[in-house]
Amino acid sequence: MLLRNILRSLFLFYILYSIFNIPVNAFDSSRPNNKFGIHLATPSKEELESAAKLVNTRGGSWGYVTVVIQDNDRNKIKWQEAFDRMRELRLIPIVRLATSPVGGYWAKPTVKEIENWVTFLNSLRWVTKDRYIVLFNEPNHSHEWGGELNPEEYARVSYEYAKSLKSSNPDYFVMLAGLDLAAASNGADLDAYNYVLRMYQEKKELKEVVDGLSSHSYPNPGFRGSPYDSGRTSVRGYEWELEILNELGVTKELPVFITETGWTHNGADTDAIAGYFRTAFETWQLDDRVQAVTPFILSYQGEPFTKFSWQKLNSEEFYNHYYEVEAMPKVMGNPIQIQKGRIVSELPKDLLAQSTYHFQVKLRNDGQAVWTYKENYELSFGFAQDKQGIDYFFANIDGIKPGEERDVDLYIKTSEQAAPRQLMMGLYKNDERIIDEVGWTFQVLPLPSLDIKTSLIPRIRSEKNREFEVQIFNNKEELVFKQKGLKRENGELIIPEVKNVYLKGTFRVVVLSRHYLPRQTFVRFESGQNRANMKALLPLDFYPDGAFSWRDFWELLRNPRLLDLLLP
């Protein structure tokens, strides 16, 4: 009997786990957070830049913008460009999903559209790890829900959206639509309390998939209330909402995102509204429950929302409250961004003593952050063994964006010969490794020699005093070695020690002598003695510039004695 009860309990637990096992968003509210934000009508370059100037000034960084994506505007190129611009401007998007207007109301979202939304949203490279989503807008107005008041249907549909989004990626941070807290039940609208009550009566599981509260905490009545007011129809309306949700069994702490709020104006600047916003933001700043505030709306150049617009009509100027909020001190936010990428290096295994090298390492960014030295990103070696005998430095990483691959210069200088060792190369931010390290095993060997066999045409007589110069270039056509004043011995140029090359690497070797055209060959260096055969040098560089051209004929006319070079 006891065994049967145990098995029954385990089976029940399995069923409940299967039903409610929805990925949990690991939201971290302890990180530095800039609460300042603004609601946008469009994600245009101009609006995003104005938003950044508003919310990321006076010490601030990583403020918020609320944007709306309609189902007929799921354009990946457009929205990825917008997200990338937000990333550069350090703006965190809060995305409200929307349908499309049909006549005098907004169409109801359908479950059939969920897959299309999930596919589109997952196709974007998001700005931060947390993907903030708001499911539609003020459904306690019938014109926002297909001309109907149907909180039960909204609850069912929203649950399916939230469940599908979070199942596809646990980084989605889902919020239900902000409600009009001042609406009264009159047939066209439904009181917010009754709307929320019927929602949770219909779908108790909503509390399992909702991560935060999207609140429209407007200063009512008439968008003219005092910033000092409290209660349901004030700038602190979210407090009333949290109390109601707690009464309905939503016991987990919900971060608050005030995605709409603000006072209306009559088109004239008023110091009063500017002061209201300062007071309100000071209040919200002191409330740890408030994660972000995005007043409605930065710029709306037409009816019906010109009275909410922070930007003046048909002007590039803003109302006073824009500049008042811009001047307020802010916090340098630090949101979590996914760090993902790879280091690709093909560094040689055999270096030489007393040499300097210039290599390049490929660094690919597949994450969310822009990698730049200004944010303390750097490539570095974590030495697994003693680094004695070798110095190095990497060039600054300058703005590698997600999706980009860039070559980063690496400079190395060796001293004495050294046994094989291993270095671990990694990408670091503030001395913390953020992507996997790549190992490089190498040794430092003695310098090799190079003997170059060459001749002069048509010279038969020996020219003991003729001097030669040897230049050696790497595969990037950088001059890595040069030696002047060499003289032939038994038809050979002998260089006893060649620096700055590496073994098993192929280098371009050039021989020069005054009035002779240069000759070149390629040498794959090995340890010990290396030999190269060079074609005979021709005495046709009368105008000594390393090339054969009309200038050589002109120089020969000016100095006929150069003809001696053509005699045997």
Residues 6+ apart with CB under 8 A from 14: none
Contact 400, 429 (CB under 8 A): no
Contacts 24+ apart (CB under 8 A), 29-33: 29/255, 29/288, 29/291, 31/333, 31/334, 31/335, 31/336, 32/331, 32/332, 32/333, 32/334, 33/62, 33/291, 33/292, 33/331, 33/333, 33/334, 33/335
Looking at residue 560, its pLDDT comes to 65
SS3 state at 429: strand
Distance CA 392, CA 380 (A): 9
Distance CA 213, CA 273 (A): 26
pTM of the complete model: 0.85
Give the phi and the psi of residue 562 in degrees, each rounded to 5.
Answer: -65, -15
- Written as tens digits, the pLDDT of the chain (568 aa) is 444 444 444 443 333 333 344 454 555 677 999 999 999 999 999 999 999 999 999 999 999 999 999 999 999 999 999 999 999 999 999 999 999 999 889 999 999 999 999 999 999 999 999 999 999 999 999 999 999 999 999 999 999 999 999 999 999 999 999 999 999 999 999 999 999 999 999 999 999 999 999 999 999 999 999 999 999 999 999 999 999 999 999 999 999 999 999 999 988 767 899 999 999 999 999 999 999 999 999 999 888 899 999 999 999 999 999 999 999 999 999 999 999 999 999 999 999 999 999 999 999 999 999 999 999 999 998 765 556 678 999 999 999 999 999 999 999 999 988 888 888 999 999 989 999 889 999 999 999 999 999 988 876 555 678 899 999 999 999 999 999 999 998 889 999 999 999 999 999 999 998 888 899 999 999 999 999 999 988 887 766 666 666 565 666 666 666 556 555 5
Distance CA 351, CA 504 (A): 10
Distance CA 133, CA 95 (A): 5
Looking at residue 564, its pLDDT comes to 60
Looking at residue 452, its pLDDT comes to 96
Contact 219, 248 (CB under 8 A): no
Looking at residue 421, its pLDDT comes to 85
